[in-house]
Amino acid sequence: MHDDSEPLTSQELAGIDPTGGLDDLLIFGNPATRRRFLKQVAGTSAAISLGPSLMGFGSAEAAENAADTAVTPAKVTLKINGKEHALEIDPRTTLLDALREHLQLTGSKKGCDHGQCGACTVLMNGRRINSCLSLAIVHEGDEITTIEGLANGDQLHPVQAAFLEHDGFQCGYCTPGQICSAVACIAEGHAKSDAEIREWMSGNLCRCGAYPNIVAAVKEAGTKS
Ligand code: FES
Ligand code: FES
């Protein structure tokens, strides 16, 4: 963890915490990083160009306070993988950030944080959703299932087993989202052919290009379900 007074590195400005590796890929979703970013911007080029009044705050301290104290925390109870968790969070917190930063369920990944890659896919009442696009507070009463909740003890979910059997991954970053999406895809009845699987899994991107093996894994798991 960095000191608040340290300037952000170029890696951090690009959204990558060099101490956290891929598992901590965050784009100002991390409060400490956001605080440091605001301090840095308030003291440098953007502030000089815009001036404090146009930036909406008069100093770095005001920027920090505006970022962290303007919103009243909201209470919400989330049911994740069959277990209830009472949280008090910023109401703007996404479901993905609630999972990763408040509940330490880091299986769901943050890729784009804009609903475009599917790395954050979880199941909500059996339906797949992009957790980066959904506020946590709207999920009171919902059954949320993450990759951590699919296995039955030591027994892998059939889709997890099929991904292993077919080498449906390389770096593995997209895999939790792919597997959650595949579970729903099969349940929806959209895994009967390669073309259908490609179409209905198209919201889950894989930068490693493991698509042929992913399709094979989903198809096999679909035939066993
Ligand atoms: Fe949610 Fe990319 S991180 S869709
Ligand atoms: Fe690397 Fe899909 S396995 S992004």
CATH code assigned at 192: 1.10.150.120
pTM score, whole prediction: 0.72
- Candidates 168, 119, 122, 172; CA nearest to 147 is 122
Q: What percent of the chain has pLDDT over 70?
A: 69
Q: Is 98 part of a structural domain of the chain?
A: yes
Residue 189 has pLDDT above 70, yes or no: yes
Domain membership of residue 2 (yes or no) is no
**Mean pLDDT value across residues 14-25:** 42
* Ligand 2 center–CA 120 separation, angstroms: 13
Expressed as residue numbers, the domain containing 193 is 158-224
Q: How far is CA 167 from CA 4, 162, 173, 182, 217, in A?
A: 42, 8, 14, 15, 8
| Cα gap 24→30, rounded to integer Å | 9
CA angle 108, 75, 69 (to 5 degrees): 90
CA of 181 to the centre of ligand 1 (A): 12
Q: Name residue 143's beta-bridge partners.
A: 79
Q: Is 70 exceeded by the pLDDT of residue 127?
A: yes
pLDDT 10s digits, 27-84 = 334 445 444 444 443 443 444 344 444 444 456 666 666 666 679 999 999 999 999 9
The tokens describing 73, both together, are: 């925390």
Cα–Cα distance, 162 to 219 (Å, whole number): 9
Provide the H-helix boundaries in 56-174.
60-69, 95-97, 158-165
In which residue are the tokens 């946590």 written?
136
Atom from ligand 1 closest to the CA of residue 203: 4
224 — pLDDT class (breaks 50, 70, 90): confident
23 CA from centroid of ligand 2 (Å): 13
- Asked which of 57-61, 163-167, 215-219 is least confident by mean pLDDT, the reply is 57-61
Of the three residues 69, 85, 101, the one that is the final residue of a domain is 69
Tell me the CATH number at 98. Answer: 3.10.20.30
Query: Is 44 in the same domain as 98?
Result: no
Look at residue 4 and tell me if it is in a domain: no
Q: What is the dihedral of CA 31, 33, 37, 38, to 10 degrees?
A: 20
Ligand 1 atom at shortest distance from the alpha carbon of 118: 4
- What is the per-residue pLDDT for 106? 98
State CA 120 to chain mean position distance.
4
pLDDT for residue 47: 40
Q: What is the pLDDT of residue 90?
A: 97
Looking at the structure, tell me whether residues 169 and 123 fall in a common domain: no
pLDDT digits (tens, 9 = 90+) for 103-118: 999 999 999 999 999 9
- Find out whether the beta carbon of 170 lies less than 6 Å from any atom of ligand 2: yes
Considering the domain architecture, whether residues 41 and 22 belong to the same structural domain is answered as: yes
d(CA 134, CA 125): 14
Whether 140 and 81 map to the same domain: the answer is: yes
The count of structural domains within the chain is 3
